[in-house]
Amino acid sequence: MKKLILIDGNSIAYRAFFALPLLNNDKGVYTNAVYGFTTMLLKIIQEEKPSHMLVAFDAGKTTFRHKTYEEYKGGRQKTPPELSEQFPLIRELLDAFNIKRFELDNYEADDIIGTLSKEAEKEKWEVKVVSGDKDLLQLVSDYVTVVLTKKGITNVESYDEALIDEKYGIKPNQIIDMKGLMGDSSDNIPGVPGVGEKTALKLLKQFGTIENVLDSVDDVSGKKLKEKLIENKEQALMSKELATIFTEVPYNLTLDELKFGEYDEEKVVSLFKELEFKSLVDQFDTGVSAAEKELEELSFDVVEEVKEEHLATPAAMVVEVLDENYHQADIAGFALVHEKGRYFIPTETALRSDLFVEWAKDETKKKWLLDAKRGVVVLGWKDVLLDGVDFDLLMASYLLDPSHSSHDLSDIATRKGAKSIQADEAVYGKGAKRKVPETGVLAEHLVRKANVIYELKEQMEEELKKNEQFKLFKDLEMPLSVVLGRMETEGVKVDIDQLKAMGEDLASRLAELEKHIHEHAGVSFNINSPKQLGEVLFEKLGLPVIKKTKTGYSTSADVLEKLAEDHEIIRHILHYRQLGKLNSTYIEGLVKVTHKDTSKIHTRFNQALTQTGRLSSTDPNLQNIPIRLEEGRKIRKAFIPSEEGWKILAADYSQIELRVLAHIAQDEKLITAFKEDMDIHTKTAMDVFHVSEEDVTSMMRRSAKAVNFGIVYGISDYGLSQSLGITRKEAAKFIERYLASYPNVAEYMERIIEEARENGYVSTLLNRRRYLPELTSRNFNQRSFAERTAMNTPIQGTAADIIKKAMVEMALRLEEANLKSRLLLQVHDELIFEVPPEEVDKMMKIVPEVMENAVELAVPLKVDISAGDTWYDAK
């Protein structure tokens, strides 16, 4: 049975506004109407569990009713600004809940609601109309009830025909007659003077309709009343007309589009947080989360010995690892769900079973997982090969919408309307308290997880196909996860002794620097504490305060550099910072994660995190090993091949993002520049400053480079001003000049924003998507950010697509050619391999060829490659 809720948005917002004191959040935004609206909404959702929902709003000031009666709604107080500023927030709220909202020029919310309720009624849907306006009662029928607010906002009363009869003694369709007679001061509907509710009802009980009253006016008792009725005949009829809800509003919605159900819980909670609806955040976290929902019964078997019947294809599979870091981690257990049943298999039972191990490595046995790489790698460490991964729910969820910060199975289940399951955190606990629960609890949880994967596979693939992302999913990200898994498991060899030697050197130099700094300061303090350092510099030494953070003085490097002339201590501090960073993050950090026996580092690439499609690397992050300063670059000397005599080979795309930009903007100037393999920053300087190549100064090139940098990373004029040390205005002018020099780029920037606003998302060459709802935000910062994102994501994302494609292709080539060379790392535009000496020449040819031909663009892709004994030497 379908159940449609129709909400009179304006009416409820008004009610909420006047019912509640003027709350505001710490940014000074009034939120009381939003709050009231939200509580009402949550209550309705919880109590009514609607399948469909719509909130209607009044559109402009005038409606078709004004043609009938100019003074319609005349004399009304203007909407207080404290309320009108809350409407955009209410809209945002509804969007977060994925509730359709609708307004239409010339019509009131009532008319929209009336039209849709009639429509739904025809389909025999149950309809609930929510409003504070009694006018709506005219819509009540066998299928339609009207919920009116009584006092406050959540105190409501549901009107069906019986209740209307009880209260007024009339039928719903007589409400308009009642209004016609008695009028409505709030809408400035005149009615018949002297007739109030009592008289109106009395007349209607006797005559049924206004028309009948007027026709039989002679039978009306009371001389005065009779006169008034005759005198105001036209006015009464007009008033009835005004009060009549128009039920044939032209609209372009189908009832199905009003479907309510899936929405982004995170988005809602984050909006609540922004609005400071603390109680709602709490209530929401527990009240709507899967944890509190009653879980349906689910039968399953605990496998004691793996038999044929436990293994089928396709099968949803859970390989549970509690440690966040899955390298060399313990497996808590397995679950399999397929057509033959649902099973929990204890770790040992599975791993000692030849049947299971054979099934796992059989690529014809299709497995569906969440985070396949995790499963593959953890089993790999136990020498169990997992092949035949046919579907990865994590990748699917990420590609469909990368914006979700959690791709925890319970969150995906909630979002996608699958059977709800408990969050891992609720089952295992978090932080130090995280532990494996008793077997029964664990088994059930894992089986439920596998069950959800099984349930969602088709739906997710359909969604991917609908978005034309299936190829991206199946031919790029899925194979890539296998490649990444191998890279992670292989690891990178580290010369630990060298690392330690560098550490000792750094430690002694740091001690020396510390001594100097304390002497200069005349006091011993912790240099690593920005708080203490700030006190010393700005209070004790009285240096000028250049920038403040929200908790105190800023002591960041750019601030310190400005103070370098003022005091000798600054140089030492900067140097201390530099060495300290190297020592703690890179030396100590890397030593800590280097495997004792093998001297290898196993990072993890997160393939489902960034909004642009880039990878990230953790535990440790091997994508930010120093290179710019020689001192730091030396760290790379410690990254060595894992086998004697092998080489490290590094291949990086030259200016891949700007080449991608040239391609998508189809900018002839840029395309030519790349075809001729010019130095792109020099070229940009030439174009922006209108000078010839010889006249480009280093300052010009630096500025041009910063602008190019800004284009690639989507920074603001403020960001550019910071990086160039100029004013925001000057930075804005630079950008302007850049865009004037490359009109096609300017056109692209405008086009992509427009397109994103229309579609709600931007996409990359290979159809990766990023949704940008903030493009319509009323908040300048949010909107500007979304606009820069719209411009930048197709560029950075396409570059990510390209290198990912090259990686998959490369893995294939290595296998086909039976090469021993191994891909070790990816650093956004760079691939690092280790290569046996006899393959170096071959690889120096193959790698650039594969990378440069990963896709075909309007410009050539260029790859620089070099080999050396260490990562440092591969430059």
Partner DNA sequence: GCGATCAGCGG
Partner DNA sequence: CTTTCGCTGATCGCA
Give contact residues for DNA (rule: CB under 7 A).
430-433, 526, 528-532, 534, 549-557, 560, 574, 577-578, 581, 584-585, 588-589, 592, 606, 609-611, 614, 616-621, 623-629, 632-633, 713-716, 718-719, 722-723, 728, 780-781, 784-785, 827-830
CB nearer DNA, residue 599 or residue 618: 618
CB nearer DNA, residue 291 or residue 546: 546
- Measure the CA–CA gap between 614 and 280, rounded to whole angstroms: 35
- Measure the CA–CA gap between 749 and 753, rounded to whole angstroms: 6
CA angle 620, 621, 622 (to 5 degrees): 105
Q: CA of 697: how far to CAs of 453, 495, 704, in Å?
A: 59, 42, 11
- CA 464 vs. chain centroid, Å, equals 17
- Measure the CA–CA gap between 732 and 13, rounded to whole angstroms: 41
Q: Which two tokens stand for residue 539?
A: 């209070």
Considering the complex, what minimum distance in angstroms separates the CB of residue 760 from DNA?
19
CB nearer DNA, residue 89 or residue 832: 832
Largest CA distance in the chain: 116
Phi and psi angles of residue 702, each rounded to the nearest 5 degrees, phi first? -60, -45
CB nearer DNA, residue 68 or residue 556: 556
Phi and psi angles of residue 170, each rounded to the nearest 5 degrees, phi first? -130, 170
CB nearer DNA, residue 28 or residue 75: 28
SS3 671: helix
Considering the complex, what minimum distance in angstroms separates the CB of residue 709 from DNA?
8
- Measure the CA–CA gap between 835 and 33, rounded to whole angstroms: 65
Q: Which two tokens stand for residue 727?
A: 């004013």
Considering the complex, what minimum distance in angstroms separates the CB of residue 704 from DNA?
17
CB nearer DNA, residue 546 or residue 844: 546
Considering the complex, what minimum distance in angstroms separates the CB of residue 416 from DNA?
22
Considering the complex, what minimum distance in angstroms separates the CB of residue 117 from DNA?
44
- Measure the CA–CA gap between 75 and 185, rounded to whole angstroms: 9
Per DSSP, the residues of 93-142 read HHHHTT-EEEE-TB--HHHHHHHHHHHHHHTT-EEEEEES-GGGGGG--S
CB nearer DNA, residue 78 or residue 780: 780
CB nearer DNA, residue 154 or residue 585: 585
- Measure the CA–CA gap between 231 and 739, rounded to whole angstroms: 71
Considering the complex, what minimum distance in angstroms separates the CB of residue 292 from DNA?
21
CB atoms within 10 A of CB 528: 12
- Measure the CA–CA gap between 488 and 491, rounded to whole angstroms: 5
Considering the complex, what minimum distance in angstroms separates the CB of residue 511 from DNA?
14
CB nearer DNA, residue 17 or residue 605: 605
What residues contact residue 259 under an 8 Å CB cut-off, 6+ apart? 51, 52
Please choose, from the candidates 825, 834, 762, 823, the residue with its C-alpha nearest in 3D space to the C-alpha of residue 798: 762
CB nearer DNA, residue 78 or residue 592: 592
Q: CA of 163: how far to CAs of 130, 140, 170, 197, in Å?
A: 16, 10, 10, 17
Place of tokens 């056109």: 747
Look at phi and psi of residue 641 and say left if phi exceeds 0, alpha if psi is from -120 to 50, else beta: beta
SS3 637: helix
Considering the complex, what minimum distance in angstroms separates the CB of residue 399 from DNA?
15
Place of tokens 């130099």: 509
**What b/e readout covers 194-206, taking b as 16+ CB neighbours within 10 angstroms?**
ebeeebbbbbbee
Q: Which two tokens stand for residue 764?
A: 């990359």
Q: Which two tokens stand for residue 652?
A: 């990086």
Place of tokens 């089993």: 379
Please choose, from the candidates 260, 257, 247, the residue with its C-alpha nearest in 3D space to the C-alpha of residue 112: 247
Considering the complex, what minimum distance in angstroms separates the CB of residue 686 from DNA?
24
Considering the complex, what minimum distance in angstroms separates the CB of residue 610 from DNA?
4
Place of tokens 């605990």: 302
CA angle 145, 148, 154 (to 5 degrees): 120
Please choose, from the candidates 605, 623, 642, 633, the residue with its C-alpha nearest in 3D space to the C-alpha of residue 835: 642
